[in-house]
């Protein structure tokens, strides 16, 4: 949770007391609560500022509010400086280091002397420069002539494209210099942090799981000039506080989600986030127990379910683009639905139940309509005209339907009984703010978009779509439309598999065809592993001379020949190629499709983050007779006619027309079975596979 109730922003200054009259280049702060300015504060020196901050934090904590407190100076120095001074990379140790050494009084402080002292430790020519005092300080030059900096000039954030123009941490004097602001600033923050131990988290070094967060801001970064008549510093902190307060939780979390170990970061500067994809699957993830000859379908599926896990990274997309995507996190309602009690009908609203019998109520002037609430209270014993969807005003909790009343002389007459609350909708009767609206793994539907909108979610955390490469193998294959020579056939699997992938909600990546050539195939698999998360091949998956998919996977050490007790479907070759799982499907189109639906689909679903899914089947009477031997599961191409399951007249796995004839599969269990017409069989419509 990083939701804040209060945003307070501070513009720091390193100079001496600025006097009683509010002025530019002093310390300014602004406190915003519930998106409106609560206080704009001029703080003439750091002693006053520190005690004001102290009181603010104490007040917010005792009120149980979460406070985001921003300061316009760096929380860390460029890489290496903390370790050189303190022996530790921990920037918070550096805070304490400065806190011990900075002497800060309203009329003077020792920042220049301390800078000189530090410089002398490093040879006396840097990292600090610009002595702003009249007197000489050994080691701290007035200009950059003989300057040598043993550390990087800038922090990583100061080299970001949208953070150009910042001063370096090393410049101690001159208009806008931040060198002195850091030293004096982090010293104060170190004390506040110590005082409110366990209540304050420092961003981005610590987890924001405390009621108060200190964050680094840079107001001038993207604010224009202050309006006429306003003091720039005062106006800027107000703008930053208001902008943060207005931001959606998701946007704020996104901005807060940076990693910047020792240097710190400026809130709002975008960071090239590392691809936070989960680590790849292990090479042995498809290993089958040794010594097993034929693996039953259910065991094979259980193994896949156990071994595989989501492999896609997360991102945020606008609501409008979220349909069909898989939620990366649980999504919680930001607002109740309905947000306030309202009327479910057009009619007249009043307070309380009505007993049996006639009732006449005088009407109050005005009305309440959806989006146009009644501005006032309805007194006891009076009624108000209300229209469907209107928020119930104070004094109304029950509504009588317009059709059930007579209106005359500014009175409304009707008959009881009527229960209290009749014809109204309670606030949150559908969803309560803070409740989980949808769980991680949910594939967002059109209805979900309505739900997410209603509960105030505009930005949806989803997983990147799973990219699935499809590759056909075999010397005999030519592209449909090409001229097919003797012994050649058209590539039927690739168009089928690519469209299956798309229909199932994944991203198909067409990797074309390769002949039975190990080198070419190897190069094509490399390319596929680059372009996609998972690879589906068809053909060449058995153990014959020309079965190069299995041969290559075996060579790469990651082949598992899954001899699954399944018809249709010869061995399925499962393996890893350059980190990408490979499903080596049989070449026969019927077997390729059945293996895709039965094995690849749930496995892909799991890897995409949507979880393991089992296709919904229905028990229906058979319209056919079949004797089946024990020892393997069979899938028959089937369709429903007149409430009975018909099967295709041939079980040949090269009979593509049967796939097309069928509208689903009949699944016949592993054991022996004699199906007679009228017996119940399990029919799984293609639709159950997401097609
Ligand atoms: P394989 O698994 O390579 O031994 O192929 C088994 C059968 O499927 C052979 O008859 C192949 O010609 C056929 N086959 C392989 N790939 C395809 C494809 N992409 N389209 C149609 N038939 C194929
Ligand atoms: Mg082949």
- Dist CA 300 CA 600 (whole Å): 11
> Strand 383-386 relative to strand 354-368: parallel, antiparallel, unpaired?
parallel
pLDDT (tens digit, 9 = 90+) per residue, 95-106? 999 999 999 988
Residues spanned by the domain of 373 = 342-425
Ligand that lies nearest to the alpha carbon of residue 472, given by its number in the listed order: 1
Same domain, 598 and 634: no
Same domain, 600 and 654: no
Same domain, 589 and 660: no
Closest ligand 1 atom to residue 541 Cα is 2
- Report every protein residue that has its C-beta within 5 angstroms of ion ligand 2: 474, 539-540, 587
pLDDT-derived band at 563, boundaries 50, 70, 90: confident
Q: Which residue owns the Cα nearest ligand 1 atom 16?
A: 587
Distance 284 CA to ligand 1 centre (A): 27
pLDDT-derived band at 52, boundaries 50, 70, 90: very high
pLDDT (tens digit, 9 = 90+) per residue, 579-603? 899 999 999 999 999 999 999 999 9
Closest ligand 1 atom to residue 544 Cα is 4
Same domain, 417 and 500: no
CATH number at residue 435: 3.90.105.10
Same domain, 445 and 332: yes
Q: What values do phi and psi take at 97, rounded to 5?
A: -60, -50
| Residue 43 pLDDT exceeds 60 | yes
- Dist CA 426 CA 429 (whole Å): 5
State which of 373, 403, 425 marks the end of a domain: 425
pLDDT (tens digit, 9 = 90+) per residue, 355-373? 999 999 999 999 999 999 9
Q: How many domains does the chain fold into?
A: 5
Percent of the chain with pLDDT over 90: 72
Distance 585 CA to ligand 1 centre (A): 10
Distance 522 CA to ligand 1 centre (A): 19
Same domain, 99 and 116: yes
pTM of the predicted model as reported, rounded to 2 decimal places:
0.62
Distance 493 CA to ligand 2 centre (A): 12
Ligand that lies nearest to the alpha carbon of residue 492, given by its number in the listed order: 1
Choose one of 489, 500, 550, 573 to mutate for the ligand 1 pocket test, by most ligand atoms within 8 angstroms of C-beta: 489
Ligand that lies nearest to the alpha carbon of residue 513, given by its number in the listed order: 1
282 within a domain of the structure (yes/no): no
Q: Which tokens in the block code for residue 112? A: 């220049």
Percent of the chain with pLDDT over 70: 97
HSE-up (13 A, CA, CB side) for residue 84? 15
pLDDT (tens digit, 9 = 90+) per residue, 155-198? 989 888 777 767 889 999 887 789 999 999 999 999 999 999 88
Choose one of 487, 537, 588 to mutate for the ligand 1 pocket test, by most ligand atoms within 8 angstroms of C-beta: 588
* Average pLDDT value for residue range 66-79: 95
Q: Which residue owns the Cα nearest ligand 1 atom 5?
A: 587
- Dist CA 676 CA 645 (whole Å): 12
Nearest residue to 262 via CA among 177, 156, 158 = 156
Q: Which residue owns the Cα nearest ligand 1 atom 10?
A: 588
29 within a domain of the structure (yes/no): no
Q: Which tokens in the block code for residue 317? A: 């997309």
pLDDT (tens digit, 9 = 90+) per residue, 453-508? 999 999 999 999 999 999 999 999 999 999 989 999 999 999 999 999 999 999 99
**Cβ–Cβ < 8 Å for 491, 513:** yes
Return the pLDDT at 337.
94
| Residue 2 pLDDT exceeds 50 | no
Q: What values do phi and psi take at 566, rounded to 5?
A: -150, 140
Same domain, 439 and 578: no
Query: Which of 126-135, 284-293, 670-679 is predicted with the least confidence, judged by mean pLDDT?
Result: 284-293
Distance 547 CA to ligand 2 centre (A): 6
Return the pLDDT at 397.
96
CATH number at residue 643: 2.40.340.10
164 within a domain of the structure (yes/no): yes
The burial class, CB within 10 Å (0-12 / 13-18 / 19+), for 341 is middle
Closest ligand 1 atom to residue 538 Cα is 16
Nearest residue to 257 via CA among 315, 327, 185 = 315
- Dist CA 562 CA 582 (whole Å): 12
**Cβ–Cβ < 8 Å for 168, 77:** no
Same domain, 417 and 525: no
Q: What values do phi and psi take at 299, rounded to 5?
A: -70, -40
Query: Which of 275-289, 312-326, 556-570 is predicted with the least confidence, judged by mean pLDDT?
Result: 275-289
List, in sequence order, every residue forming a beta bridge with 12; answer none if it has no partner. Answer: none
- Dist CA 423 CA 347 (whole Å): 9
Q: Which residue owns the Cα nearest ligand 1 atom 15?
A: 587
Q: Assign 3-state DSSP to the chain and report helix, strand, coil percentages, each to 5.
A: 25, 25, 45
**Cβ–Cβ < 8 Å for 82, 170:** no
Ligand that lies nearest to the alpha carbon of residue 476, given by its number in the listed order: 1
> Look-up: residue for tokens 């300080």?
137
3-state secondary structure of 18: coil
| Residues contacting ligand 1 via CB (< 6 Å) | 472, 474, 476-477, 489, 491-494, 538-542, 586-589
Q: What values do phi and psi take at 105, rounded to 5?
A: -125, 155
Ligand that lies nearest to the alpha carbon of residue 537, given by its number in the listed order: 1
Q: Which residue owns the Cα nearest ligand 1 atom 17?
A: 587
447 within a domain of the structure (yes/no): yes
* Average pLDDT value for residue range 37-50: 94
State which of 157, 182, 199 marks the end of a domain: 199
* Average pLDDT value for residue range 402-420: 96
Contacts of 345 (CB under 8 A, 6+ apart): 388, 399, 401, 402, 423
Nearest residue to 370 via CA among 342, 394, 397 = 342
218 within a domain of the structure (yes/no): no
Same domain, 154 and 186: yes
Same domain, 418 and 512: no
- Dist CA 125 CA 136 (whole Å): 14
What letter would DSSP give residue 528? H
- Dist CA 471 CA 351 (whole Å): 70
Nearest residue to 472 via CA among 531, 542, 551, 525 = 525
Using alpha carbons only, give the angle 287, 288, 289 rounded to the nearest 5 degrees.
125
Distance 487 CA to ligand 1 centre (A): 12
Same domain, 371 and 331: no
Q: Is the pLDDT higher at 144 or at 638?
A: 638
Distance 597 CA to ligand 2 centre (A): 21
Contacts of 273 (CB under 8 A, 6+ apart): 257, 258
DSSP string, 93-134: HHHHHHHHH--EETTEE-HHHHHHHHHHHTTSS-S-B---SS
Same domain, 471 and 598: yes
* Average pLDDT value for residue range 56-76: 96
Distance 587 CA to ligand 1 centre (A): 4
pLDDT-derived band at 227, boundaries 50, 70, 90: confident
State which of 179, 199, 219 marks the end of a domain: 199
Return the pLDDT at 234.
94
Peptide bond into 127 cis (omega under 30): yes
Return the pLDDT at 522.
93
Using alpha carbons only, give the angle 44, 47, 53 rounded to the nearest 5 degrees.
90
CATH number at residue 359: 2.170.190.11
Nearest residue to 630 via CA among 672, 667, 668, 674 = 672
CATH number at residue 599: 3.40.980.10
- Give whole-number Cα distances, 585 to 112, 215, 468, 569, 688, in Å: 72, 53, 14, 8, 21
Closest ligand 1 atom to residue 513 Cα is 19
pLDDT (tens digit, 9 = 90+) per residue, 253-303? 878 888 877 999 999 887 765 555 666 777 777 776 655 577 888 988 998
**Mean pLDDT taken over the chain:** 91
E runs forming strands in 587-632:
618-621, 626-628
39 within a domain of the structure (yes/no): no
Q: What values do phi and psi take at 415, rounded to 5?
A: -110, 135
Q: Which residue owns the Cα nearest ligand 1 atom 6?
A: 587
Distance 410 CA to ligand 1 centre (A): 83
DSSP string, 627-677: EE-SSSEEEEEEEEETTEEEE-S---TT-HHHHHH-SEEEEE-SS-EEE-T
Distance 569 CA to ligand 1 centre (A): 12
**Cβ–Cβ < 8 Å for 325, 465:** yes
Ligand that lies nearest to the alpha carbon of residue 541, given by its number in the listed order: 1
Return the pLDDT at 288.
67
CA 120 to chain centre: 48
**Cβ–Cβ < 8 Å for 558, 623:** no
2 within a domain of the structure (yes/no): no
484 within a domain of the structure (yes/no): yes
Distance 472 CA to ligand 2 centre (A): 9
């Amino acid at each position: 949770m990083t939701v804040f109730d209060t945003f307070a922003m501070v513009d720091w200054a390193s100079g001496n007391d600025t006097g009683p009259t509010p002025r530019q280049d002093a310390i300014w702060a602004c406190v915003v609560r519930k998106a409106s300015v609560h206080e704009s504060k001029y703080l003439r020196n750091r002693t006053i500022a520190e005690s004001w901050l102290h009181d603010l934090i104490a007040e917010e904590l005792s009120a149980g509010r979460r406070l985001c407190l921003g300061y316009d100076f760096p929380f860390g120095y460029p890489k290496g400086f903390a370790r050189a001074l303190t022996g530790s990379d921990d920037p918070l140790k550096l805070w304490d280091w400065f806190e011990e050494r900075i002497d800060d009084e309203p009329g003077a402080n020792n920042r220049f002397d301390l800078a000189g002292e530090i410089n002398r430790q490093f040879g006396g020519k840097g990292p600090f420069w610009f002595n702003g005092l009249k007197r000489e300080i050994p080691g701290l030059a007035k200009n950059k002539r003989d300057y040598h900096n043993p550390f990087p000039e800038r922090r990583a954030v100061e080299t970001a494209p949208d953070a150009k123009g910042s001063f370096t941490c090393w410049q101690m004097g001159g208009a806008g210099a931040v060198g002195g602001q850091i030293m004096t600033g982090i010293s104060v923050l170190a004390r506040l942090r110590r005082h409110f131990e366990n209540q304050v988290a420092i961003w981005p070094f610590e987890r924001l799981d405390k009621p108060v967060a200190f964050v680094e801001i840079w107001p001038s970064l993207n604010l224009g000039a202050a309006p006429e008549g306003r003091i720039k510093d005062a106006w800027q902190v107000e703008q930053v506080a208001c902008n943060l307060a207005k931001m959606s939780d998701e946007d704020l979390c996104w901005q807060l989600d940076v990693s910047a170990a020792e240097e710190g970061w400026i809130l709002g500067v975008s960071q090239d986030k590392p691809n936070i994809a989960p680590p790849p699957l292990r090479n042995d993830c498809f290993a089958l127990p040794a010594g097993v000859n034929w693996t039953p379908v259910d065991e094979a599926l259980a193994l896949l379910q156990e071994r595989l896990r989501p492999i896609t990274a997360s991102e945020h997309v606008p609501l409008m683009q979220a349909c069909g995507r898989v939620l990366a996190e649980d999504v919680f309602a930001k607002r109740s639905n309905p947000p306030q009690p309202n009327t479910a009908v057009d009619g007249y609203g009043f307070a309380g139940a009505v007993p049996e019998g006639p009732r006449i109520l005088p009407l109050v002037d005005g009305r309440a309509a959806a989006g146009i609430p009644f501005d006032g209270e309805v007194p006891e014993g009076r009624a108000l005209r209300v229209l469907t969807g209107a928020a119930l005003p104070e004094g109304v909790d029950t509504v009588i339907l317009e059709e059930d009343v007579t209106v005359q002389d500014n009175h409304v007459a009707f008959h009881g009984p009527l229960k209290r609350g009749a014809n109204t909708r309670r606030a949150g009767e559908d969803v309560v703010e803070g409740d989980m609206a949808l769980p991680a793994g949910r594939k967002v539907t059109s209805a979900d978009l309505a739900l997410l909108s209603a509960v105030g979610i505009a930005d949806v955390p989803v997983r990147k779509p799973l990219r699935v490469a499809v590759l056909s193998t075999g010397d005999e294959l030519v592209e449909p439309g090409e001229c097919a020579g003797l012994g050649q056939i058209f590539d039927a699997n690739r168009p089928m598999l690519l469209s299956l992938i798309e229909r199932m909600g994944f991203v198909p990546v067409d990797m074309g065809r390769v002949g039975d050539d190990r080198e070419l195939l190897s190069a094509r698999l490399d390319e596929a592993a680059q372009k996609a998360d998972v690879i589906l091949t068809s053909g060449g998956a058995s153990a014959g001379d020309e079965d190069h998919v299995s041969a290559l996977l075996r060579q790469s050490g990651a082949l598992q020949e899954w001899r699954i007790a399944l018809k249709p479907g010869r061995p399925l070759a499962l393996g890893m190629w350059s980190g990408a799982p490979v499903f080596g499907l049989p070449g026969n189109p019927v077997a390729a499709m059945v293996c895709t639906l039965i094995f690849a689909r749930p496995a892909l679903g799991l890897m995409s983050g949507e979880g393991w899914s089992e296709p919904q089947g229905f028990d229906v009477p058979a319209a056919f007779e079949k004797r089946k031997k024990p020892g393997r599961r069979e899938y028959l191409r089937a369709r429903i006619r007149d409430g009975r399951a018909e099967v295709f007249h041939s079980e040949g796995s090269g009979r593509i027309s049967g796939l097309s004839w069928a509208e689903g599969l009949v699944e016949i269990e592993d054991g022996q079975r004699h199906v007679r017409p009228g017996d119940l069989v399990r029919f799984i419509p293609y639709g159950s596979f997401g097609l």
